[in-house]
Amino acid sequence: KPIPFLFPVMRDAMLGVVFWEGHVVDSSQEQGDGSLLLSLSEAPSHHRRCGRCGSDSVLLHERRRRRVRDRDWFDRRVWLDVPIRRLDCYQCGARAAERLSWLDTGERITHRLRAWVEALVQILPIAHVAQLTGLHWHTIKRIDHRRLQARHGAFDAQGVRRLVMDEFALHKGHRYATVIMDAERLRVLWVGEGNSREAIRPFFELLGEEGCRHIEAVAMDMNTAFDLEVRAHCPKAEVVYDLFHVVARFGREVVDRVRVDQANALRSEPAQRQVIKRSRWLLLRNRDNLGDEQAVKLEELLAANAPLATVYLLKTAIKEIWFAPTVREGARRWKDWYRFAMDSGIAPAIAFAKRLRKYLRGILASAIFPLNTSVLEGVNNRIKVIKRMAYGFRDSAYFFLKIKAAFPGKAR
């Protein structure tokens, strides 16, 4: 049935001109679900334009009608019954659909509805936008994917000199993806599935020989695949190994191992054994992040257990190498730390020090290029939030565009 308070207004031709250029509203009808159906017709003064070349066209080849969704009006869904005309164009000789300023060829949603959806998906999960608008999940994803592709799909690494590379978990089951960021502008340049040499090679191919020559430093963890691929494509680039990953690995391979060994050695003393078993986070967290009560517990633990005190001091001292003001000072700090580790007599610490010695050049390079991947740890946390908002991503390309959009970088 017609909507009494709207129908007289809908007959106003100016309303059609404002919202649906070239058309007027003939009638309005309330549907069974409470939505509003507006029937449109061509305005008398409307100039038809060819959908292919854009020129004026007067010859009509065929006419049919299509139902199209528009943006909601208050609490009502709005549907349009639109005449779709196929024109016979003198200019280009094509028989093409008429070009409309508010509706793309072949689409069933208006530009206004699409713009509304594009604004919503930037602040809400797709599932919530679908519930709010009544559109299908895949329709909203397609709209957002097109928006992201237009804004962030092109590869742009102009002027990039320093890079940060890291991997993140894409799915459960040891499936990873690699993210590469401009270290100076904090902009995600590229995201690709996998963490092997073959997986990251497309980035350097996109960068080109000229772009690779301008790269002077790349920060990464001790990933051999990353290292080899960077050296193969960017001969002038200095590899800088990241402190965060080294300390995290030292915590897993040395501190945790010694803690478990010390706990196992106290099987006959259950109370002391439980104290050591439950001390993992006290030993791994930075001292500055501990509360007063936790700091006291840590001091008591280290005073009572010499091996744990030794590896804890090694964990603290290794950080100073990365903060050395010069390469010479960094080398001196490394020698002191290495000697301390070798003299400790703790097997996991000795093995770790020997492995780390192979990466010394990249460690000392931090004095020249103070880069680190801590910013990418923030990226990884944001990636987890994006995945949670989307309840998981089945389309990796769409997911990677979401990541690029979340980190557009700082203005020059």
Note whether 237 and 296 are same-domain residues: no
Note whether 166 and 228 are same-domain residues: yes
Distance between CA atoms of 115 and 120, rounded to whole angstroms? 9
DSSP-derived 3-state class of residue 304: helix
pLDDT at 307: 92
Note whether 314 and 204 are same-domain residues: no
Q: Is residue 15 part of a domain?
A: no
Note whether 261 and 297 are same-domain residues: yes
The burial class, CB within 10 Å (0-12 / 13-18 / 19+), for 270 is exposed
CA 203 to each of CA 144, 181, 190, 247: distance values in angstroms, whole numbers, following the listed order: 24, 11, 7, 28
DSSP-derived 3-state class of residue 359: coil
Note whether 263 and 300 are same-domain residues: yes
Q: Which of 108, 129, 145 is the last residue of a domain?
A: 108
Residues 6+ apart with CB under 8 A from 274: none
pLDDT at 289: 81
Distance between CA atoms of 355 and 178, rounded to whole angstroms? 24
Angle (CA) 326 331 336, round 5°: 130
Q: Is residue 14 part of a domain?
A: no
Distance between CA atoms of 180 and 169, rounded to whole angstroms? 14
Q: What is the pLDDT along the chain (412 residues), one digit of tens a residue?
A: 444 444 444 444 455 556 888 888 888 899 999 999 999 988 877 778 877 787 777 677 778 899 999 999 888 999 999 998 888 787 787 777 888 888 888 889 999 999 999 999 998 888 899 999 999 999 999 999 999 999 999 999 989 999 999 888 887 766 889 999 999 888 999 999 998 999 999 999 999 999 999 999 999 988 888 999 999 999 899 999 989 889 999 999 999 999 999 989 888 888 888 888 888 888 888 888 888 888 888 888 888 899 999 999 999 999 999 999 999 999 999 999 999 999 999 999 999 999 999 999 999 999 999 886 667 677 778 888 887 766 556 788 898 999 899 888 876 5
Note whether 280 and 348 are same-domain residues: yes
Residue 407: both structure tokens together: 């980190």
Q: Is residue 12 part of a domain?
A: no
CA 111 to each of CA 127, 143, 222, 256, 281: distance values in angstroms, whole numbers, following the listed order: 21, 11, 49, 57, 53
Q: Is residue 94 part of a domain?
A: yes
Distance between CA atoms of 160 and 210, rounded to whole angstroms? 11
Note whether 388 and 297 are same-domain residues: no
Q: Which of 168, 178, 116, 114 is nearest to 146 (CA)?
A: 114
pLDDT at 1: 45
Note whether 266 and 354 are same-domain residues: yes
Distance between CA atoms of 181 and 165, rounded to whole angstroms? 7
Buried b (16+ CB within 10 A) or exposed e, 282-311: bbbeeeeeeeeeeeebbeebbeebebbebb
Q: Is residue 11 part of a domain?
A: no
Note whether 269 and 180 are same-domain residues: no
Q: Is residue 5 part of a domain?
A: no
pLDDT at 135: 94
Number of domains into which the chain is organized: 4
Q: Is residue 183 part of a domain?
A: yes
List residues bridging with 169 in a β-sheet: 176
pLDDT at 396: 85
Note whether 293 and 350 are same-domain residues: yes
Note whether 353 and 248 are same-domain residues: yes
- Whether the CB-CB separation of 372 and 243 falls below 8 Å is answered with yes
Residue 327: both structure tokens together: 């390469």
Q: Is residue 128 part of a domain?
A: yes
pLDDT at 309: 93
**Residue 194: which CATH number?**
3.30.420.10
Distance between CA atoms of 5 and 213, rounded to whole angstroms? 69
Domain that holds residue 144: 109-153
Note whether 92 and 205 are same-domain residues: no
